[in-house]
Structure 1
Amino acid sequence: MTFAAFPFHAVLIGVVSLGLACSDKPEPHPPPPVEPWDGTYTPLVEPSDWVDRGVFAPCSFTPPVGTPIDCDNPALFDLSKCDTATLDSLDPHGIYQVDMRHDSGVSDFAGFRVPVDGSTGSVNVGYTLPTSLIRQQLKGSFLLSARFTFPTGFLHSVFAGCGVSGPGTVTGCFAQCSGRKFLSSGTFEASRMTWGRGESESSGGLRLVSETHVQTHRPADVFVHRKHAYVMSIDDSATKTPGGLSVVDVSDPTHPVIKKKITIPGDSYWNAAWAKDDALYVASKAKGVIVFDISNPADPVFVRSLPTGAPLNVHTLFVDGNRLYAVSPAPAATGETLIFDISSPLEPVLLNRLVTPDEVSWFPSAHDSFAYQDRLYVNQYATGYVVFDVKDAQNPRQLGRYTFSVDGREPMSHASAVGTFAGKTIAFEGGEGTGAHLRVLDVTDPANIQLIGRYKLRPQTSIHNVILKDTLLYIAYYHEGLRVLDVSNPTQPREVAYFNTYRESDPGRSESILDGAIGIRVPGDGYVYLVDLARGLLILNEL
């Protein structure tokens, strides 16, 4: 599906001339060069992540007034104006992400999975945990229902298809009840998570060099240091499988070798890693920052966990020179960023604990950071993208923030990369969640941050992490795989290559919107190291 609202999304097609004088065909012309950016732009209006595209289907849910109802009653859906015959074209299985629009205009999202073998599938709605499907009919009559149990009762969600609006796309109506009381209804658009827009596996010269299934848990991040890839994994609550660290020798990227796996009982949610000299830093949900000695890169040895005292959840890490920034979403009320001096890499010294004042959000939570030229850019989730002066770690100053609230919808600021273009400081900032995408921000003046560019694919998908390498931006885009953008003109990001990692048939695929390509590094050795939640470590050539 083409997202027409973003005209600067284009694929650069390489042209190879045969150079044969006898050819009857004219020699093709190479694509025109990108004009150098002079730093001028017209600020864009912030549209928010989720854009209300109106009612998705001509159907409705018609519960009887004033009487108890059973939401899981297909007869309560009025599908008389629907082209339900088109549902015969669907496969009886698949993984779908669902954009939900309540009749009140409020947004919601869901994901469901119906296995190929016909066994019981699963679904989640919003931020609920997955639950088993009660109904899972896709072909002919599209009917799905599930019951979510809570301490205070249960929520019953039902989806009824109205018709097929495009390849792999179903529209219809949904209803939600609590007990036998009607709560809400609306329309939906469900997109099957096959490769979007009729794409092939790859474009732009990207090719898979090797693939290593590093885990039985779920890999989330990778850091490459001294010809070793340190792949971090989070625990899998569904299978009760712990996360940990996998050490992979990548001295020959075509034949990676797993050298060691490390798991600590009771401490199995390791989400990020960074290395400096002989030290490897690991972000632990239970123990804060774990320090390993990697003087022997293939054999990390535990040194200590930081900070001392009460347990701390550290989610992401960033090293800039002799500073380590460790971002903690909890237990502090708004989250915090710990600043360490790592002049002695194996002996970090805590300098400060930076807390972002919560001024605008119902869901404050520090998530990630990026340090650049004495500034720290903190992704504060729904509070927004916050900029600090951290030249003096003992006295950081908040310089500004980028946030928005359009029709009550707040940002989910998640990750970023920052660089200098035409003398301006430009941030490439991405959210996480339904509709979340890439924003290009002029942060030269943090007190007056401007939106100058955007890049977005399917509205049901989300990006995760970004890496800026010169004028190329590498994006781990969950279901959309790896996307590479030419950002030499930041106002017009151009997609120049992609590699689709997501396949429904991969063991371990879930119904979550947060599945697919998740972690990425481009260390400058000629390769891209990409982590996919189901496939593990994928190594591709660097463009």
Structure 2
Amino acid sequence: MDAGPYVWDGTYVPLEEHGDVEDKGILADCKFDPRNVSPTICNELDRADLFDLSQCETQSLGALVQEGIYQVELRGERALPDGGTRIVPSSTGFLLRDDGGTSTLYDQPILKLDMEGDRFVLQGQLPRTGLVMNLTGCEAKAPNILTGCFASCRRGQFTQGGTFEAHRVVKQEAEPESSGGLALLSEHRVSTGLAVDIYVTKGHAYVVSMPHQDQLGGLTVFDVSNPRNPVRTASISLPGDNFWNGVWAKDNALYVASNDSGVVVYDISQPAEPLFVRSLSTGGDGGAHTVLVDGNFLYAMVPISGTFIYDLTHPLDPVLRTVIPGGPHDSFVYEGRLYISDSSDGYALFDLANLDDIREVGRYIIPNGFSHHNAVGTFGGKTIAFEGGEFNASHVRALDVTDPANIVKIGTFKMRRVTSMHNLILRGNLLYVAWYQEGLRVLDVSNPTQLRQVAHHHVFRETDPLRGDSLFEGLFGVRVPGDGYVYTAESSRGLMIFNEL
């Protein structure tokens, strides 16, 4: 049955795939040639004259807001043996403090910051990888937008240089706090770590979190019988096993994706007080990143090894049925097919007709992209997948997957290039998207060739506890269980409940 009223006749013009980050050329007027660098550059990254700024509007730098969280698009250039260069897109983030607190790059205290007059020079490091980076400003395009040049070294060896564009990621000035009738009804912080996913069943919201700084991750349970006034009923964190990233349920069983152990199973026959039952090992050195339940099967996505499929004839005692090798991040089941967001290996489709002989029937490759999450429905008589990425410039793609051997991109929806989307949920003709610092976005997808935002609500505030400069902060998880409410997990603010449109 179609997902909603017929508004699309199924025709489209195929769109070319250029990956998540389409190169738009140099991002600043400063100059840096990676083919002609000083052999001592890695000892000189703190120099203010590291780059040629002669064509820059450096007098504008004094207008840059000297506080806040900035996300940075990096357009790196690496020298090739043949004398050419290769473009390497990536990202970073920095936090500026003007209250005496610690400014950071990569969530680490910066080594140098010079913002006097018409200068902007920031140097920072990521100790665990030996990376050191210099960001030098060229122009403040607006009070919240900075362009410039960068160079980086790793363990004393020059790696790349190029141009950058940084945006402060508070809500865009031209956009209101919310639109389309979407209203925040209540919120409640979790007890542990950063909230990253949520599942709602039995009148309760189960929010999982991952460790952050000196806080452990775990599970926080809320009674949401009155969504306007959620009540916390339990907080759980297992010693040595609390990096929890995904959650789902079936009947009286709750399944938690644990990066430490695999899948942790809880009995929620008493929904306010989950009771530990067992852990399902997914082998190797890595655990499960996400989980999905469809019918009588549990799917656990283990990025280092594959998709583990369990039989749920007895929900509290899952039995491993088979494993699909790969590097999955998340998955979705629709009309007998498994749709796997297969990380850097694209978007893969599998036929589930015979679990003893699961076959790949199609794959969509995203150059320089990362397939992260997806949902599938029927529109205009065609099977349409809404595929979402992660990392900077990730966005929603509408894909015609009716013929798995010939997957066609037919629509897109994008936000700022410096931000990343995360999870998405399809309900009827509406796609609810958790878009990290961009908040909750609701898209009308009744015409998949013209994805259109119909509502939004900002949630990211720089002043909330535990905020840092990571790209992966803000709204992580979203569920729309059909009770008239939208339940979300925000990394700092925790459980946030909105009205369903």
For the criterion TM > 0.5, the same-fold answer is: yes
- TM-fit CA distance, 1:214: 1.4
Change (3 A) 1:403 1:67: closer
Change (3 A) 1:418 1:142: same
- TM-fit CA distance, 1:180: 6.5
Q: Distance in 1 between matches of 2:123 and 2:380?
A: 53
Change (3 A) 1:87 1:495: same
Q: Distance in 1 between matches of 2:189 and 2:175?
A: 25
Listed as ranges, the matches of 1:372-383 within 5 Å are 372-383=334-345
Listed as ranges, the matches of 1:44-193 within 5 Å are 44-61=15-32, 68-69=40-41, 70-103=44-77, 104=85, 105-124=87-106, 130-138=107-115, 140=117, 141-149=119-127, 154-178=130-154, 182-193=158-169
CA RMSD of aligned residues (A): 1.9
Which digits, 9 at most, give the CA deviation of each residue in 1:7-52, with x for residues without a partner? xxxxxxxxxxxxxxxxxxxxxxxxxxx9810111111011210111
Q: Distance in 2 between matches of 1:189 and 1:182?
A: 21
Q: Is the 8 A contact 2:64 2:142 kept in 1?
A: no
Which residue does the alignment assign to 2:243? 269
Change (3 A) 1:467 1:162: same
Q: Distance in 2 between matches of 1:198 and 1:310?
A: 49
- TM-fit CA distance, 1:246: 0.4
Q: Distance in 2 between matches of 1:271 and 1:308?
A: 15
Q: Does 1:512 align with 2:484?
A: no
- TM-fit CA distance, 1:394: 1.9
Q: Is the 8 A contact 1:93 1:138 kept in 2?
A: no
Listed as ranges, the matches of 1:268-417 within 5 Å are 268-307=242-281, 313-330=287-304, 335-356=305-326, 365-405=327-367, 410-417=368-375
Which digits, 9 at most, give the CA deviation of each residue in 1:50-79, with x for residues without a partner? 111111221124899655241210022222
Q: Distance in 1 between matches of 2:148 and 2:481?
A: 45
Which digits, 9 at most, give the CA deviation of each residue in 1:246-268, with x for residues without a partner? 01000011110000011100001
Q: Is the 8 A contact 1:227 1:249 kept in 2?
A: yes
Where 1:176 maps in the other structure, the secondary structure is strand
Q: Is the 8 A contact 2:192 2:219 kept in 1?
A: no
Q: Distance in 2 between matches of 1:461 and 1:65?
A: 31
The residue type equivalent to 2:122 in the other structure is L
Q: Distance in 2 between matches of 1:181 and 1:446?
A: 45
- TM-fit CA distance, 1:477: 0.4
Q: Distance in 2 between matches of 1:246 and 1:287?
A: 19
Q: Is the 8 A contact 1:62 1:78 kept in 2?
A: no
Which residue does the alignment assign to 2:80? none
Which residue does the alignment assign to 1:244? 218
Q: Is the 8 A contact 2:205 2:221 kept in 1?
A: yes
Q: Identity of paired residues, percent?
A: 49
Change (3 A) 1:245 1:436: same
- TM-fit CA distance, 1:183: 4.2
- TM-fit CA distance, 1:396: 0.8
Change (3 A) 1:308 1:142: closer
Where 2:71 maps in the other structure, the secondary structure is strand
Tell me the number of residue pairs that the alignment of Structure 1 and Structure 2 aligns: 485
The residue type equivalent to 1:379 in the other structure is S
Note the residue ranges of structure 1 that are not aligned, 5 or more in a row: 1-33, 125-129, 357-364
Change (3 A) 1:499 1:402: same
- Choose 194-203 or 420-429, whichever is displaced more: 194-203
* Partner of residue 41 from structure 1, selected from 12, 24, 28: 12
Change (3 A) 1:380 1:178: closer
Q: Distance in 2 between matches of 1:340 and 1:35?
A: 37
Where 1:87 maps in the other structure, the secondary structure is helix
Q: Does 1:418 align with 2:398?
A: no
Change (3 A) 1:321 1:147: closer
- Choose 429-438 or 59-68, whichever is displaced more: 59-68
- TM-fit CA distance, 1:206: 0.6
Q: Distance in 2 between matches of 1:120 and 1:264?
A: 32
Listed as ranges, the matches of 1:423-442 within 5 Å are 423-442=381-400
The residue type equivalent to 1:38 in the other structure is D
Q: Is the 8 A contact 2:64 2:143 kept in 1?
A: no
Where 2:405 maps in the other structure, the secondary structure is helix
Which digits, 9 at most, give the CA deviation of each residue in 1:495-516, with x for residues without a partner? 0000001111111111111111
Where 1:366 maps in the other structure, the secondary structure is coil
- TM-fit CA distance, 1:455: 0.4
- Choose 135-144 or 82-91, whichever is displaced more: 135-144
Where 1:198 maps in the other structure, the secondary structure is coil
Q: Is the 8 A contact 1:212 1:535 kept in 2?
A: yes
Change (3 A) 1:309 1:387: closer
Listed as ranges, the matches of 1:201-216 within 5 Å are 201-216=177-192
Structure-1-length-normalised TM-score? 0.86
Q: Distance in 1 between matches of 2:500 and 2:105?
A: 37
Which digits, 9 at most, give the CA deviation of each residue in 1:74-133, with x for residues without a partner? 022222222122222222211111111124322121111122423222112xxxxx4321
Q: Distance in 2 between matches of 1:530 and 1:466?
A: 11
The residue type equivalent to 2:150 in the other structure is F
Change (3 A) 1:329 1:341: same
- TM-fit CA distance, 1:165: 1.4
